C-alpha cells in the first residue's frame, strides 16, 4: 500500500459543511417528514432525537475517531489503528465493507440524482405550467423508459460531483460546500416562510408536530433507530474519510453534536417545505420518491408563483443530492490514491468512470433488465437490500465494537479530546453496549423482514 499524504480541511467550518452535506440527502427531503407524520408526529421526532443522540452520536464519534487516528481511507484507517493497538490487520475488512457500501449505493444514487437534475431543468424551462396528475405520471414513466435521457442526466450528476472531487479537498470539496450548504439552509428557510401563507400550513404543522404518543410502539422505536443510523451516514465510508482529513485541533465531540442537529433541522424544515403544499392541494403525503417527481409538479402548476417555487425546490434537492454523492465517491478516490499509487486527478477519473459504466446496469433495471434480479426483485432493489439491510448495519456494528472494545482508553481519550469524566464514560459505555445491541437489532429485523 502506497503512503499518501492526504489534504486536510482548512477550517472546522469546511469540515462541518462537508459532513452535513454528506448526511443531508434525498432521504431527508422526503423520507424523514413522511415517517414522522405517520408515526406520531412530534412524539416520533422526540423518539428520533433520543435515538440520534444515544446511538447516532456515539457511533459517529467512533467513526471520526478511527478516521482521524488512521488518517487514510476506511480500509487504511482501520488497518492503521488496529496495528497501533496491537490488533489484527484483518480489521481492514470493516473498511472494505464500508467502501463497498458506498460504491454500491452510489451506482444507484447517481441515477436518482440525474432525475433530480432533469426536473430542475424542467422547472427552469416551464415551472410545470399546466401539468395535471395524468401528465405528471406519464412524464415520469416516460423518463423511466428512456435510457438515453437517464444516461445523459446520470452522467451529468457524476460530472458535477466528480468536478468537485477532482479539484481536491480544500479547493474542491471544501470550497464548494462552503457555498452550497449555507445556500441549502437559506433555500429551506425561504420556502418554509413562503408556505406559512398557504392554506395547508396548519395541517402540515399538525401532521409533523402534533404529538400522538399512542402511535409509539416497539416498531416505531425500531424505525427511529434505523432512521437515525442511516440518515447520519454511518457505515458509508464518507464520515471516516472526512475524519481522516480533520486537523487535530478540531473537537470531534462538539462537531458531531452540530452535525446531528443540522441533519435533523434540515429534515424538519423539508417537511415544512413539502407538506403545506401537499395538504393545500389535497395530495398524498405518503408518496415517497413519487412525491417529488409525480405529485409535487402537479402542485407547482397550481401555486401562485409556482414557477419560482419549483426552481428553488429542485435546486434545493439537487444540492442535497450532489453533496451526498461527493461523500460517497471521495472514499473510493482516496483508496485509489493509497492502493494504486494514482495521483488525485487520476483516482477521481478512474472512480467516476467505473461508477458511470456500472450505472448503466442501474438505468437498464428500470426497463430493459427489469426482470434481472433475485427473489423477484429488480437489480436496484437487490442492491438497496444488500447495502441498507446488510452492509451498513454490519459495518456500523463492527465500528462500534472496534472503537469500544479494541481501541484503548488512552487512544480514544486523545482523539476525542475529552477528560476522563462523565461525558467520556457515557460515550464508552454506549459504544460498548447499547449501540451494538441496537444496531444488531436493526440488522436482524432488516434481514428477517
Under 8 Å between Cβ of 122 and 287: no
Distance of CA 283 to the CA centre of its chain: 26
C-alpha to C-alpha distance for 311 and 125, rounded to whole angstroms: 9
C-alpha to C-alpha distance for 243 and 430, rounded to whole angstroms: 21
- Res 3: pLDDT: 59
- Provide the residue ranges of all domains of the chain, joining segments of one domain with +: 12-448
- Res 10: pLDDT: 96
C-alpha to C-alpha distance for 108 and 103, rounded to whole angstroms: 9
Under 8 Å between Cβ of 238 and 95: no
- Res 314: pLDDT: 96
C-alpha cell, 423: 461525558
In 3D space, the residue among 196, 262, 218 whose CA is nearest the CA of residue 56 turns out to be 262
C-alpha to C-alpha distance for 370 and 141, rounded to whole angstroms: 14
Please provide the DSSP assignment of 313-354 as one string.
Answer: HHHHHHHHHHHHHHHHHHHHHHHHHHHH---HHHHHHHHHHH
C-alpha to C-alpha distance for 7 and 4, rounded to whole angstroms: 9
Q: What is the DSSP code (8-state) at residue 127?
A: T
- Res 212: pLDDT: 87
Q: What is the DSSP code (8-state) at residue 236?
A: S
- Below-70 pLDDT ranges, the chain: 1-3, 288-289, 449
3-state secondary structure of 256: helix
In 3D space, the residue among 245, 231, 247 whose CA is nearest the CA of residue 320 turns out to be 231
pTM of the predicted protein model: 0.95
Under 8 Å between Cβ of 100 and 436: no
Under 8 Å between Cβ of 171 and 7: no
pLDDT tens-place string over residues 343-379: 999 999 999 999 999 999 999 999 999 887 788 888 9
Q: CB neighbours of 134 closer than 8 A, spacing ≥ 6?
A: none
- Res 4: pLDDT: 74
C-alpha cell, 381: 432493489
C-alpha to C-alpha distance for 104 and 96, rounded to whole angstroms: 12
- Res 154: pLDDT: 98
Q: Can you name the CATH fold of 12-448?
A: Amino acid/polyamine transporter I (1.20.1740)
Amino acid at each position: 500500500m502506497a503512503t499518501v499524504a492526504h489534504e486536510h480541511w482548512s477550517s472546522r467550518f469546511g469540515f462541518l459543511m462537508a459532513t452535513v452535506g454528506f448526511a443531508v440527502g434525498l432521504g431527508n427531503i422526503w423520507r424523514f417528514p413522511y415517517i414522522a407524520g405517520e408515526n406520531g408526529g412530534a412524539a416520533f421526532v422526540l423518539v428520533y432525537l433520543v435515538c440520534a443522540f444515544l446511538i447516532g452520536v456515539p457511533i459517529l464519534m467512533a467513526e471520526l475517531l478511527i478516521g482521524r487516528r488512521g488518517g487514510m481511507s476506511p480500509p487504511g484507517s482501520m488497518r492503521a489503528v488496529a496495528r497501533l493497538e496491537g490488533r489484527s490487520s484483518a480489521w481492514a475488512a470493516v473498511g472494505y465493507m464500508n467502501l463497498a457500501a458506498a460504491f454500491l449505493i452510489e451506482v444507484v444514487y447517481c441515477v436518482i440524482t440525474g432525475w433530480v437534475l432533469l426536473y430542475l431543468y424542467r422547472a427552469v424551462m416551464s415551472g410545470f405550467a399546466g401539468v395535471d396528475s395524468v401528465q405528471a405520471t406519464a412524464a415520469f414513466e416516460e423518463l423511466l423508459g428512456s435510457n438515453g435521457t437517464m444516461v445523459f442526466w446520470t452522467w451529468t450528476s457524476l460530472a458535477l460531483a466528480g468536478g468537485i472531487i477532482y479539484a481536491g479537498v480544500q479547493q474542491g470539496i471544501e470550497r464548494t460546500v462552503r457555498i452550497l450548504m449555507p445556500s441549502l439552509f437559506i433555500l429551506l428557510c425561504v420556502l418554509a416562510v413562503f408556505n406559512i401563507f398557504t392554506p395547508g400550513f396548519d395541517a402540515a404543522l399538525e401532521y409533523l408536530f402534533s404529538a400522538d404518543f399512542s402511535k409509539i410502539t416497539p416498531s416505531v422505536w425500531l424505525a427511529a433507530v434505523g432512521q437515525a443510523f442511516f440518515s447520519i451516514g454511518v457505515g458509508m465510508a464518507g464520515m471516516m474519510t472526512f475524519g481522516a482529513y480533520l486537523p487535530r485541533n478540531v473537537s470531534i465531540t462538539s462537531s458531531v453534536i452540530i452535525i446531528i442537529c443540522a441533519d435533523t433541522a434540515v429534515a424538519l424544515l423539508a417537511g415544512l417545505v413539502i407538506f403545506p403544499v401537499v395538504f393545500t392541494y389535497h395530495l398524498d403525503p405518503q408518496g415517497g420518491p413519487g412525491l417529488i417527481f409525480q405529485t409535487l409538479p402537479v402542485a407547482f402548476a397550481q401555486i401562485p408563483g409556482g414557477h419560482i417555487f419549483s426552481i428553488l425546490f429542485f435546486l434545493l434537492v439537487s444540492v442535497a443530492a450532489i453533496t451526498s454523492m461527493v461523500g460517497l465517491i471521495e472514499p473510493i478516490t482516496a483508496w485509489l490514491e493509497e492502493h494504486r499509487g494514482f495521483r488525485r486527478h487520476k483516482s477521481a477519473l478512474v472512480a467516476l468512470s467505473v461508477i458511470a459504466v456500472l450505472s448503466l446496469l442501474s438505468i437498464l433495471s428500470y426497463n430493459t433488465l427489469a426482470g434481472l434480479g433475485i427473489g423477484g426483485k429488480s437489480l436496484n432493489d437487490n442492491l438497496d437490500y444488500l447495502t441498507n439491510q446488510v452492509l451498513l448495519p454490519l459495518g456500523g456494528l463492527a465500528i462500534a465494537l472496534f472503537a469500544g472494545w479494541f481501541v484503548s482508553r488512552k487512544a480514544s481519550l486523545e482523539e476525542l479530546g475529552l477528560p476522563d469524566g462523565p461525558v467520556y464514560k457515557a460515550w464508552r459505555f454506549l459504544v460498548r453496549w447499547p449501540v451494538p445491541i441496537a444496531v444488531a437489532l436493526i440488522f436482524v429485523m432488516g434481514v428477517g423482514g
